[in-house]
Amino acid sequence: MVPLLRTVVLATIHSKDNVCMPSSRPTVVHDVSVPFQLGLGERMSYACGDLAGNAMFGITGSYLLYFYVNVCGLAAGQVAILMLAARVVDSVADPCIGYMIDRRRLFRGRVGPYMKWFSLPLGLALLLCFIRLPVGAGGRLAWAYGTYLLMGIVFSMVNVPYGVLPNVMTRNGRDRLSLAMFRMMGATGGTFFMGAVTLPLVHWLGGGNERIGYPAAMAVIGLLGGLVLMVPAFTCTERYVLQPAHNPLRVMLASLLRNRAWVVVTVVLSLFYINLTAFYGLSLYYATAVLGRPATFGGLLISVMGIGKVLGVTCSGWLVRRIGQRATVAVPYGLSALYLVVFVSAPNRPVLLGAVFGLACFFEGMTLPVFYAMIADAIDLGAVLTGVRAAGLAYSINSFMGKVAWAAGGALSAAMLGWGGYVSGLAVQSPQARAFICMGFVGVPIFIACVSAVLVWFYPSEDEVMAIRLRAHAGA
């Protein structure tokens, strides 16, 4: 009986979703037999958003710590406080932007124009972060606070609307999973680009002078990244209109907190950002201080991470169809943790280390599309359960939590250097410094992978989600 009801409901939803008109009731098709409604070109152009956005924002996670400590001469402890304080402050911008989207305060409720108007300013903000002013240490620290804060706010003006785009592009669950996969391929492609190109570009443009090389490289990357980031604004069609939210803010927040699916995926995705900052922020230090290799090997590890995650993303849909969403997060996370243990125990051979690290990132990459598909589904599911629509606020708080996690992870990476007694410019670091760097680069991601593999089982199962949708349509 249940399979029959499932088929009837899915057929009903599919017939409604083929009409590109605003929908009063959020619906998502989860049956993988339902054909794609979005063309390949539109899905590829959507990926450009994270290709450029992840590259630019990832650069601040990978190289800004090194730039602050080794080029600007700021103390690691000061940088730890800076990254935590500035990121938490600018994270307040995310709920404000989400609230504006829900209230349709700008661009008549459309989300694409945000990316059109704020992408190039994001590239400029990236450049400003990597300028070393010819002033004293206090002035350089103040400049770092101001520019890092600006970078986060402008990034929010682009990233929150970008996250909402799938909800206004399609109601088809297969399309949404595909968009999430293309988004993650773009993001991991941006990671590969960041690791492979940034340091060579810095050294080439600066002629060996990092004070010149970093701002010159960021000017090029910021301009190209800003232009690529604008692509979804011109090529992704908003087929569904976000209905204006008239509920008070406290009611919208309460509805989100009642949405178990949204809470779980927000927490797990936030933990992922801490994991990411550990890889980004400490890769150069792990390469030089622990492995005794050039900093470029740290950049190579970042590129390997990008390649591994791209390959993992491409396998994600296949795995979801066989074991479901929750298991596609839990199982690969467990395998990723296992290979990180092998990585830290392996002999110091570049090819072997790169291969094992790539496998760890491959399994982690399988989880990424599932996160974003879960978020889109959780938002629609919450609207069914509570009757309150808060798509913009939901994505903005998700982005807010991600930024707080990013800040905490960046601060933790800097703190690891301080706690270990890392000394900039010292050829051979102390055993304590090497141990703390290793703990931050490998230990933290292992711990997060294990915790996330457990937490994801609190997300509703596919049967629970279907049962809720059946009840909702039965009462419609």
Tens digit of pLDDT for each residue in 258-317? 778 888 888 888 888 888 888 877 888 898 888 888 888 888 888 888 788 888 888 888
Residue 238 has pLDDT above 50, yes or no: yes
The pair of three-digit structure tokens given for residue 98, joined into one six-digit string: 């989400």
Q: Inform me whether the pLDDT recorded for 406 exceeds 80.
A: no
Q: Is the pLDDT of residue 30 over 60?
A: no
- Residue 405 CA to chain centroid, in angstroms? 11
Element (H, E) at 258: none
pLDDT tens for each residue of 103-138 = 766 777 688 888 889 999 999 999 999 999 888 888
What CATH number is given for 40-238+248-466 in this structure?
1.20.1250.20
| Residue 452 scores a pLDDT above 60 | yes
Task: Specify the amino acid at residue 35.
Answer: P
Residue whose tokens read 């990233």: 159
Q: What is the pLDDT of residue 221?
A: 93
Q: Which amino acid is at 243?
A: Q
Q: In sequence order, which ranges of 92-172 are alpha helices (DSSP H)?
A: 93-103, 112-129, 137-169
pTM assigned to the model: 0.64
The whole-angstrom separation of Cα 343 and Cα 335 is 12
Q: What is the mean pLDDT of residues 199-220?
A: 91
- How would you class 152 by CB atoms within 10 Å of its CB: exposed for 0-12, middle for 13-18, buried for 19 or more? buried
Q: Is the per-residue pLDDT at 247 higher than 80?
A: no
Q: Is 31 exposed, middle or buried (0-12, 13-18, 19+ CB in 10 A)?
A: middle
Q: What is the mean pLDDT of residues 7-21?
A: 33
Instruction: Please compute the mean of the pLDDT values over residues 422-437 and round it to a whole number.
Output: 84
Cα 169 from Cα 241, distance rounded (Å):
9
Quote the pLDDT of residue 330.
92
Query: pLDDT at residue 474 above 90?
Result: no
Average pLDDT over residues 359-382: 81
Which tokens in the block code for residue 215? Answer: 């701002």
Amino acid, res. 454: V
